[in-house]
Chains A and B, each alone.
Chain A
Amino acid sequence: MTGGLDIPGPGAAPGAQAVAFAAGLIDRSGKAPVIEAALAHRTGRPRPLPVRAVLTALLCLALSERPLFLTEVTRLLFSQLPPASRRLLGVPGTATTERAFKAAYRRVRYCFGQILKVADPSALPKNRLLTQDELKARTKPMTPDQATAARDRLEALVNGLLEASVSVLTEAERAAFDGCTGLDATPVPLFSRGPSRRAGLSASDPDGGWYVREGDHRAREDDKGKPLRKICWALEATIATTARPPGAPPATPNLAIGMAMARPGEDPGGTGARVLASAAARGHKAGWLGYDRAYTAALPDRFHLPARALGYSPVMDYRADQLGIQASSGGTLLVEGSWYCPALPEPLITATARLRDHAIGRDLYDQQIAARACYQLKRKDGPDADGYQRLSCPALGNHPGLMCPLREASLSPRDGRPKVLQPPEEPPEICRQTAITIAPGIGARYRQNLPYGSPAWHARYATLRNTIEGLNGYAKDPAHQALAQPGRRRVRGIAAQSLFTALLLMAANIRKIRAWRALTASDQAGITRRARRRRTSLRDYLPDG
């Protein structure tokens, strides 16, 4: 296997092989030496426990599906590891008595705290229930630039770790990825209650926020003032995952390739763009990008334009108030993400809105979406390096798909093509010119390359969305990584939680790769397509006896 790594089999207690594998992944991430360099002091007693050992021990715990407790790290490093593994990690001695264990635990805690100190973007005090004034008094002074720099260091750390888990794939396995990416944010509940309004006390982990399932994940009450029920004190992990084209055979496992954490609903577009930029910077291909309506509503300058600049082609859905005409340029209409002729009939413009209002059925809707295709502007050139695109009227060219009285040559022969029955009385630019140029910023929030509602859009969107939601569920499986169980990640603060989440996603990636390799090793050709599950069988109807 060129470039990849062999994965040791699953087991409860990490053996020498598992520790070597975990240490190899930490080394591949290249982050331990960076942290050591940042913590280096010319004076004082040298720190006895290396950063690499603590990170490796945490990864061992994640890989063996154990809670990420620092006591467990201490137990693993000082009591459970074989001598060869301790030597490999540079762990001094063992802890055989309770007193020695406590001393070792202090060393582990100190080292972990130092790791977090390098990349903690939060100035808030943790582990205390404080009043507003106390919270303000204890908040460390930190400028926005310092916070941004620390956040960038934290994201570089977690994405470096994730990349190490992806690097387990061989070149051939990685080559099958064609750039399809799913992006989504998922709550990571915190081991803390939220701030109490009644007592006026802060949360013991004040870096979190209230996560609300509905809306933009922030509002705690619905439009009638009724408190929303699905709510928890959490951070929001924005995760990017690789995906396959619709219906394609599984040539590579779908892995998490990027991650960032933030308060729920806080700048989802900017966080998503940072995750995509990190993935692109690490050499992952940019292709179709699927995301949910939360990102559609983001500011174009924060998300959509950066994503396009990175080379991604968005595939998105719209809220009810975003349907129909979304923008216009030179007389053309941006209807649900695509540019159309200004004479697009009204029933075709409002087709999706009427479907959601149950005014029309699915069959008629599909036919109307198909009928839109004739009115779609033809791509003449571009988009160029600046993102400008040349589009021309659909009734132009040697074989126009549309008949238009404003384009005399398109009117013959009478062969069943659709005809513009109500051309604009004052023809706009698109009706007068051969082509028009559309700037990248026009309708940037809504533009997408696939016609909304078409079978191609449905297949692509469903695949990308199911992939990312599947990954979220996979990482939250209580029997394995249990990302949604805050009791298994008790150190507070966004830095610790980001590190824990990254380690759990690494473990989820490794679990996926192990399962995928086990499947392919048994039958290389047989994995091309798994048979659909059959819901019924004639045998179910056999009479008793």
Chain B
Amino acid sequence: MASAGREDTAGAGLGMLPAGRVTAPALRGLCRFADTRGVPASREFWLDYDVIEAFCVAGLTGRASSTRGTYRSALYRLAEAAHGPAGQRATPFRGAAAPAPYSPAERAELAAVAASQRVPAKRSSALAMVVFGIGAGLRPGELVALRGGDIARHGRQVLVHVSGPAARAVPVTAGYAGRARQLARRAGSGHVFRPGPADRSYKNFVTNFARGLAADPAAPGLSMRRCRSSFICGHLAAGTPVDELLAITGICQAESLARYAPLVDGAPPKAALRAWDKRRRWP
């Protein structure tokens, strides 16, 4: 009795739909699933993308993932006629844990590795990674775009003028300021990192370079993520005000700094950073 009822409602709910070799069993399964979930018997609701997704995830347990994919495709095609193309929804996720900052000993070793490269161009590029990564917290893309002219002396400070979407002026940490000026002078108006013609849009431009450095296998790997983490953690440890830190790191929300807080003693807690964001939004 119950199954007969389902068939009737299925027909009433979906109306005339194309029945193919894949579509028909998929639709039958969807109808049965919708019945168990109490979804109102209507084409509009049964072909809702979320209902289809729920069917593919929860209603097809035990079926091969390829079957689920086939059914999903077939049903999405039908849903497109009812609801338009399936929109993409951003998946909220926790920020990844921040990479550990380099210790003073590791920083010294990295500088030594950079200085020990055989080719001078490679030596200066490796040093640029260390100096502008740890000393100015540049992102890989910002380092790739950096030219000698972007680095200038301003009183007793050396400033790096970063261009791009997060344009800003970053004061280089005191320990790296001298080497930053030297690198800028050497680069002139050309690129500081890997001068000369190159495909700078390549996404692993920096990583591949770092991988090719000659170094002791026991030495720490040179990574721009860890360099930037070292820069931010250094400022958090030094107690740099949050608004100033946001300005020099190119970070929009104070809460984003929370991922670095566990690595630094005395860093502001997440709640304080969130409250700071709120204050800035509604002063």
Contact = CB atoms under 8 A, between A and B. Distances in A.
A and B from one complex: yes
Contact of A414 (B35, B55, B58, B89): B89
Given A403-B50, A409-B92, A418 B37 contact: yes
Given A417-B54, A419-B50, A412 B38 contact: no
Between A358, A411, A415, the greatest number of chain B beta carbons within 10 A of the residue's beta carbon is seen for A415
Contacts of B1: 358-359, 361
B36 A421 contact: no
Contacts of A17: none
B39 A345 contact: yes
B2 A345 contact: no
Given A412-B89, A412-B90, A416-B57, A421 B2 contact: no
Interface string B16-55: 0000000000000000000111111000010011110111
A344 B91 CA distance: 26
Given A359-B1, A421-B45, A415 B37 contact: no
Contact of B37 (A345, A361, A414): A345
A403 B57 CA distance: 15
A494 B187 CA distance: 109
A364 interface: yes
A371 B38 contact: yes
Contacts of B127: none
A425 interface: no
B90 A347 contact: no
Contacts of B5: 359-360
Interface string B141-157: 00000000000000000
Interface string A489-502: 00000000000000
Contacts of B90: 412
Interface string B88-102: 011110000000000
Interface string A254-266: 0000000000000
A348 B38 contact: yes
B266 to A, nearest CB: 28
B254 interface: no
Contacts, number: 67
Interface residues of B, number: 24
Contact of A347 (B38, B53, B56, B91): B38
Given A359-B1, A411-B89, A421-B45, A345 B40 contact: yes
Given A359-B5, A360-B2, A414 B53 contact: yes
Contact of B54 (A359, A361, A368, A418): A418
B36 A415 contact: no
Contact of B35 (A346, A347, A411, A421): A347
Nearest to A344: B38
A347 B198 CA distance: 65
Interface of B: 1-2, 5, 35-40, 45, 48-51, 53-58, 89-92
Interface of A: 344-348, 351, 358-361, 364, 367-368, 371, 403, 409, 411-419, 421-422
Given A358-B1, A419-B51, 17 more contacts: A347-B38, A359-B1, A359-B2, A361-B1, A361-B2, A364-B2, A368-B38, A371-B38, A411-B89, A414-B49, A414-B50, A414-B53, A415-B53, A415-B57, A416-B54, A417-B50, A422-B40
